[in-house]
Amino acid sequence: MRQATMRAMVLERAGGPLQWRERPLPAPAPDEVLIEVEACGVCRTDLHLLDAELPGIAYPIVPGHQVVGRVAALGAEVHGRPLGERVGVCWLGWACGACEYCRAGQENLCDRARFTGYQLDGGYATHCLAKADFVLPLPEAVAPLALAPLLCAGLIGYRALRFCGTARRLGLYGFGAAAHLIAQVARWQGREVYAFTRPGDREGQAFARGLGAVWAGGSDEPPPRPLDAAIIFAAAGELVPGALAALRKGGTVVCGGIHMSDIPSFPYQILWGERGVRSVANLTRADAREFLRLAPQVPVRAESCVYPLEAANEALADLRAGRIRGAAVLAAKNTG
């Protein structure tokens, strides 16, 4: 009997490209589920993986950490999760549950945590494995292509937004997958959104205004009034001094990426006045549950560019070049 197989886009070395491979279909470990992938979002973190900007990458690896699919098989110790259930898999693939961070509700900071599409094979595939305790139930009424961007762009964006506190005037630097989702949440909460795009990106600025931004301009431009907080979604450390200079006293700059280029030196004066800079690291399952409850109330709607799974390299190239409006999503089903 021929062994069951799956297909995956595999990163076999730093610098890529991803390779279209056939692999044996894996059986879930006792605490895992096997998921038949329907869709997987494409994230800038995947580019950091390709560019070897993340430490300790164990090749070969299957990227993808915004996975929507259906439970296809259960490990021996998994109970109460029906076959065929629609579920999501996000960046945090496992945490130990026992360290000081996990016990304090900060599993995102667990030193032993493992991450989907980085240390665990992810969703650029027809199937993937996931720890049963770390998969999220997803609604049947929403299409998988619309759900996928919520599982990282939405979740990390939401965690970053929470660190902005009650800020009314909110700057979003890098108006891509995360910003276009979180702008919708911020507007629903009654905040004013100021969108910063690549200089000269008139189309991106029009996109932001169409989502309710009260102002949109290049990242090299000052906003028309001081911001209460700013989130930087672009992986560009050189944006930090400009974002600080755009803040009112007491404001905060939140850096929303897992990787960022070096932050250049800047005068103390733009930090003084109790301004602050902080990072967002990963996410918790509590973040995910809270955001997924909130998203339908807004409602948050993802604008997606859809690619077949085997065109993942094209999607990543378009993301790198800034050619994607909203989010990029791979359609994994019926890919041959």
CA distance 44 to 106: 24
Of the candidate CATH numbers 2.40.160.40, 2.40.50.100, 3.20.20.70, 3.40.50.720, the domain formed by 164-279 belongs to: 3.40.50.720
Neighbours of 312 (CB within 10 A): 28
Residue 126 has pLDDT above 60, yes or no: yes
**Domain residues of the chain, as ranges?**
5-149+302-331, 164-279
Q: Dihedral (C-alpha) 32, 37, 42, 43: value to the nearest 10 degrees?
A: -10
CATH number assigned to the domain covering 5-149+302-331: 3.90.180.10
Q: What global pTM score does this model have?
A: 0.94
Stated as kind and residue range, the H or E segment containing 87 is strand 86-89
Task: For residue range 158-211, list pLDDT tens digits in order.
Answer: 999 999 999 999 999 999 999 999 999 999 999 999 999 999 999 999 999 999
Residue 1 banded pLDDT, cuts 50, 70, 90? low
If phi > 0 it is left, if psi is from -120 to 50 it is alpha, else beta; for residue 59 that is beta
| Torsion angles phi and psi, residue 237, rounded to 5 | -60, -25
List Cα–Cα distances, 85 to 33, 46, 66, 74, 89, in angstroms: 11, 27, 17, 11, 13
Q: Could you check whether 5-149+302-331 and 164-279 share the same CATH topology?
A: no
Residue 2 has pLDDT above 80, yes or no: no
Q: Which amino acid is at 186?
A: A
Task: For residue range 130-161, list pLDDT tens digits in order.
Answer: 999 999 999 999 999 999 999 999 999 999 99
List Cα–Cα distances, 156 to 11, 233, 282, in angstroms: 24, 10, 7
- Contact call for residues 331 and 309 (beta carbons, < 8 A): yes
CA distance 159 to 241: 22
Share of the chain above pLDDT 90, in %: 95
Query: In this predicted structure, what is the pLDDT of residue 332?
Result: 87
What length does the chain have? 336
Q: Which long-range contacts (CB under 8 A, 24 or more apart) does 289-293 make?
A: 289/136, 290/158, 291/150, 291/154, 291/155, 291/158, 292/136, 292/138, 292/150
Residue 334 has pLDDT above 70, yes or no: no
Query: In this predicted structure, what is the pLDDT of residue 335?
Result: 34
Residue 16 banded pLDDT, cuts 50, 70, 90? confident
CA distance 77 to 262: 45
The end-to-end CA distance of the chain, in Å, is 20
Task: For residue range 297-327, list pLDDT tens digits in order.
Answer: 999 999 999 999 999 999 999 999 989 999 9
Burial of 226 (0-12, 13-18, 19+ CB in 10 A): middle
If phi > 0 it is left, if psi is from -120 to 50 it is alpha, else beta; for residue 299 that is beta
List Cα–Cα distances, 310 to 242, 306, 329, in angstroms: 39, 12, 12
